[in-house]
Amino acid sequence: KRLFLRDPRRAWYLRGLPGVGDDAASLEAALRETIGQSGCRRVVMAGASAGGFAALRFGARLGADRVLAFSPQTFIDARGRGREGDGRWPDQIAALHAALGPDDPALDLANDLRAAAGVRLDVHVSTDDPLDLVHARRLGGIPGVAVHEHVGGGHKLVKWLRDAGKLGSLLAEALSEGARARDPATVERSGEASGDR
């Protein structure tokens, strides 16, 4: 059972989805209902970049069994972006800040993730992208979060992992009901230089 989502508003899924609603609460309610009606035994959410932000946020809030986020933004608030010098996607960020306010609590994932009891949150990031590393590493001390650093791939890490034949096994392991638990407060480094784990 699969559900694929795309955000044509390019608003980190915080302004809802056409046909679902105009805010994150409506999307969260729709996801909760869909999961409840699906009869599935295990919920895994995955996404890259803004989709990674959404997978982390909604996975934490809905109590998913597992989240895989690749090169996610973990804060998109004005204060955090200014502090870290993250000027990416200025038009989309400006529109989102105009809709929600520049420092709305929903724009920083740390609070949602700290409140996510029992959810395993795997963040995959490339050491080639300094801003992605800032976003990922700030979550490393949050219970349930494991940060996996890869040598190579840049911001398009998920495509790099797919092309290297590694993405399928990550997804299969996440979907496995017998997925072994790891120490969630770890940083794992992998890549050609150090060997994959």
Write out the chain's pLDDT in tens, 197 residues: 899 999 999 999 999 999 999 999 999 999 999 999 998 889 999 999 999 999 999 999 999 999 999 999 999 999 999 999 999 999 999 999 999 999 999 999 998 899 888 899 999 999 999 999 999 999 988 999 999 999 999 999 999 999 999 999 999 999 987 644 433 343 444 443 333 32
- 182 Cβ partners below 8 Å, 6+ apart? 120, 146
pTM for this predicted structure: 0.89
Dihedrals φ, ψ of 171, to 5°?
A: -65, -45
